[in-house]
Amino acid sequence: MTGPTPTKPAPLSGIRVFDMTRVLAGPTCTQILGDLGAEIIKIERPGRGDDSRGLGPPYLKDTEGKDSRESAYFLAANRNKRSLTLNLTSPEGQSIARRLIADSDVVVENFRAGTLARYGLGAEDMCKANPRLIYCSVTGFGQTGPYASRGGYDYLVQAMGGIMSVTGEPDGPPTKVGVGVSDIITGMYAAISIQAALRHRDATNEGQHIDMALLDAQVSWLSYVGENYLVSNEVPERLGSHHPNIVPYQVFEAQDGLMVLAVGNDAQFKRFCTFAGIAEIAEDERFTTNGGRVTNRETITSILADIIKTKPINHWVDGLIGVNVPCSPINTIDQVFANPQVEAREMKIEMEHPLASNGKVDLIGSPIKLSASPVSYRHPPPMLGQHTDEILTKLLGLSEEQLKKLHDDGLIS
């Protein structure tokens, strides 16, 4: 697939976002907005920049095969942005920020609650100055409640929000999800909120303040696992790779390795049994319905395990896909990016990068596929301060002398 031919600019074209976020949750949000066409001005501390620039190894390799300054972590969440260094702790830096915000549609920030208000850049002041402004704060715990002033990290929220307690083997320790999933899902919710607020502004001409918290988002995506507790008062435990409500839906060991079998309904179970040559099992009244299989989980699982281990993964995956029974090998990351479906969907993209050894950097594509106004990839993840002069010249009309003075004073870098 080469993707749809764009007939319209990406949907958020013309929207300007003043982005004071760092690390992962906020940058995920603004990267999504950027993919959808918004102009993202990323504000970074002079000198050091976004903390995530230093979160390596690994770093992008330069032409000599040495580590560049750009961490993989930073590259993952910062395309389609331009970088402006600005010292927000100085009155002059704050004044420049206020002038840029006056011309922005959206502010996104993830400072601790109260910090930006001290700089005169808080939601209340900014929304008063620009009533159409949408101001989104992303924090660990939100602007309210007993933990409002605490710093929050993905990991703490995975621990506190319960997802670690249900991830991992039943006899093993609680397990962190292998990516910063609390951060990422919070970033997605923030993007949803901002767009809904843009729609509200179109209807009413009114901006607003959005208060997004990692812990809130974590609770919502516990989804049915949280709900199972709320209705039963039984504390959900780790099931390894089993599903609490569906059987068989887990990892099985085939002759040559591990695979996943995910039978979602009774008809699929019947087709599985027929393919596996155990049609009589599907007729056994203990196992004909999902409810019966959940009740007799151990019995049915051990019957299936005995059969599955007699044949290699390919036998099962190819054969079962042919009869529409969901299953998959458990891919490692290199296998994922070699997968033909992942390739066909353009989930790996390539952008030019001046520091990279071959001038290119591989990035993960956007999963949002719009037919007429698709996402666009315009800027590679920026180098620190790469666009400072350009932005200040174009948007605020600063002269070369003024820029030089700001540089000399260390307010920009």
Partner 1 sequence: MDEKGPLDGITVVDLTRILAGPYCTMVLADLGARVIKVEEPVKGDDARHIGPFIKGKSAYFMSLNRDKESIALDLKNTEDKAVFEKLLGRADVLVENFRPSTMEKLGYGWERLHADYPRLIFASASGFGQTGPYKDRAAYDMVVQAMGGIMSLTGHPDTPPTRVGTSVGDITAGLFTTIAINAALFQRHSTGIGAKIDVAMLDCQIAILENAIARHVASGETPQPLGARHPSITPFDAFHAADGYLVIAAGNDRLFEALGLALGRADLVTNDLFTSNDLRTTHAPALKDEIEMTLGEKKVSHWLELFTAKGIPCGPINTINEALADPQIQARNMVVESKDTAAGTVRMAGNPIKIEGMPDPTRRNPAPDLDQDGKKIKNEL
292-331 mask for partner 1 (x: CB under 8 A)?
--x--------------------------x--xxxxxxxx
Report the chain's C-alpha Rg in angstroms. Answer: 25
What is the 8-class DSSP label of residue 53? G
C-alpha to C-alpha distance for 141 and 57, rounded to whole angstroms: 29
Residue 74 Cβ vs partner 1, minimum distance, rounded to whole Å: 8
Binding flag, residue 344, partner 1 (CB under 8 A)? yes
Nearer CB in complex with partner 1: 93/152: 152
Binding flag, residue 151, partner 1 (CB under 8 A)? yes
Beta carbons within 8 Å of 266's beta carbon, 6+ residues apart: 288, 289, 290
Binding flag, residue 354, partner 1 (CB under 8 A)? no
Binding flag, residue 165, partner 1 (CB under 8 A)? yes
Distances 352 to 369, 391, 406, 413 between C-alpha atoms, Å? 22, 21, 30, 23
Nearer CB in complex with partner 1: 95/245: 245
Q: Return the residues of window 177-236 that contact partner 1 according to CB under 8 A.
A: 177-181, 184-186, 188-189, 191-193, 195-200, 202-204, 206, 208-213, 215-217, 219-233, 235-236
Nearer CB in complex with partner 1: 298/333: 333
Distances 125 to 16, 22, 116, 139, 345 between C-alpha atoms, Å? 19, 22, 10, 19, 44
Stretch that binds partner 1, among 39-47, 138-146, 297-305, 384-392 (CB under 8 A): 138-146
Binding flag, residue 5, partner 1 (CB under 8 A)? no
Stretch that binds partner 1, among 59-67, 298-306, 391-399, 401-409 (CB under 8 A): 59-67
Residue 268 Cβ vs partner 1, minimum distance, rounded to whole Å: 8
Place of tokens 């008809």: 267
C-alpha to C-alpha distance for 100 and 96, rounded to whole angstroms: 6
> Taking a C-beta distance cutoff of 8 angstroms, is the pair 386, 21 a contact?
no
Binding flag, residue 78, partner 1 (CB under 8 A)? no
Task: State the Cα angle at 74 between 73 and 78, rounded to 5°.
Answer: 130
Nearer CB in complex with partner 1: 80/167: 167
C-alpha to C-alpha distance for 99 and 255, rounded to whole angstroms: 65
Strand ranges (E), 22-101: 39-44, 59-61, 67-71, 81-85
Beta carbons within 8 Å of 309's beta carbon, 6+ residues apart: 252, 253, 254, 255
- φ and ψ at 263, to 5 degrees? -85, 110
| Measured distance between the N- and C-terminal CA atoms of the chain, rounded to whole angstroms | 42
Stretch that binds partner 1, among 87-95, 96-104, 306-314, 367-375 (CB under 8 A): 367-375
The count of chain residues that interact with partner 1, using the rule CB under 8 A, is 161
Residue 405 Cβ vs partner 1, minimum distance, rounded to whole Å: 30
Place of tokens 């901006």: 207
Nearer CB in complex with partner 1: 28/87: 28
Selected from 292, 337, 395, 403, the binder of partner 1 by CB under 8 A is 337
Q: Return the residues of window 90-129 that contact partner 1 according to CB under 8 A.
A: none
Nearer CB in complex with partner 1: 239/307: 239
Place of tokens 């918004």: 38
Catalytic positions: 183
Stretch that binds partner 1, among 91-99, 274-282, 361-369, 399-407 (CB under 8 A): 361-369
Binding flag, residue 335, partner 1 (CB under 8 A)? yes
Best CA proximity match to 345, nearest among 329, 331, 364: 364
Binding flag, residue 58, partner 1 (CB under 8 A)? yes
